Amino acid sequence: MTGLVLGSGLDGLVERVEVAETVSFADAGLPVSTVPGHQGCFVLGKLGGTDIVVMRGRVHLYEGHSAQAVTAGVRWMAEQGVDSLVLTNAAGSLREDLHPGSWMILNDHLNLTGTSPLEGGPRFIDMTGAYDPAWRSEFMAVCEARKLALGEGVYAGLRGPQYETAAEVRMLRTMGADAVGMSTVLETIQARALGLRVLGLSCLTNFGAGMPGAELDHGDVVATAGKAAEAMIGALEAWASGS
Ligand code: HPA
């Protein structure tokens, strides 16, 4: 079964799901997100004829939650039988050629949160190919067939909640990051520790601070993601239905 985590502004993805059941974060034993645009429930149903669990919203380190709390949703979905996990997020682009409103598929990440959900064990898991290379190619082919432009790159996950300084953006670019956000990396670590395969998709909502054209405003981030969500809904549905 596939799990799908929806980031800021991407809630519209849930509209194509044939809903069988809804479970609130509270009923699943998860902390409730305080960020506007994050719903806080699981939707179990079908997308393109395939069983899916959608996590509407997520909790973040910057809300004061621990790495364990941030990844509780991944463990809950794995308990429901999820073995393939799509993680979506809104992120800042660190590359001039990746424009706001477009999508980037993650081929790797930099965990710059300073923490891990695996403190206390299991330890020393191999993070090579954490974003499943075969699944990535398959999904890129689906997007290409649909003429959906999809960049590819490295996502840097920071704690936030403030956006980066211009100097931090320069540092991240030098370090090899292509996008920056405040989620996803801990969920990927938890998912890999449980043996789930992971696909990561960043909706690029703005250029990083200090880059030409950069405008950083949470309202704009959510609005841009909302508009870009439409194209990705179609691609995810096509992938789920095997076309
Ligand atoms: N930085 C961090 N997180 C983000 C950004 C950004 O520029 N845009 C959307 N989420």
Chain Cα centroid distance, residue 69: 16
Cα 181 to ligand 1 centre (Å) = 5
Query: What integer pLDDT is reported at residue 57 of this predicted model?
Result: 82
Confirm if 25 and 41 have CB atoms less than 8 A apart: yes
Chain Cα centroid distance, residue 115: 18
Asked if residue 92 has its Cβ within 6 Å of ligand 1, the reply is yes
Residues 80-99 have pLDDT tens digits of 999 999 999 999 999 999 99
DSSP output for 192-212: HHTT-EEEEEEEEEEEPTTST
Catalytic (active-site) positions: 8, 38, 60, 62-63, 90, 182-183, 206, 218
Model confidence at 33: pLDDT above 80: no
Identify which of 99, 162, 205 to mutate to test ligand 1's pocket (most ligand atoms within 8 A of the CB).
205
Range of the domain at 219: 2-241
Higher pLDDT, 40 or 153: 153
Whole-angstrom Cα distance, residue 226 to residue 23? 23
Asked if residue 100 has its Cβ within 6 Å of ligand 1, the reply is no
Question: Could you say which DSSP state residue 131 is in?
Answer: B
* pTM for the model: 0.95
Q: Work out the average pLDDT over 17-42.
A: 83
Question: Could you say which DSSP state residue 87 is in?
Answer: E
Which amino acid would we find at residue 192?
Answer: R
CATH number, domain of 122, equals 3.40.50.1580
Model confidence at 35: pLDDT above 70: no
Q: Which two tokens stand for residue 144?
A: 């290409």
Confirm if 24 and 73 have CB atoms less than 8 A apart: no
Q: How many domains does the chain have?
A: 1
Q: Work out the average pLDDT over 215-242.
A: 88
pLDDT bucket at 199, cuts 50 / 70 / 90: very high
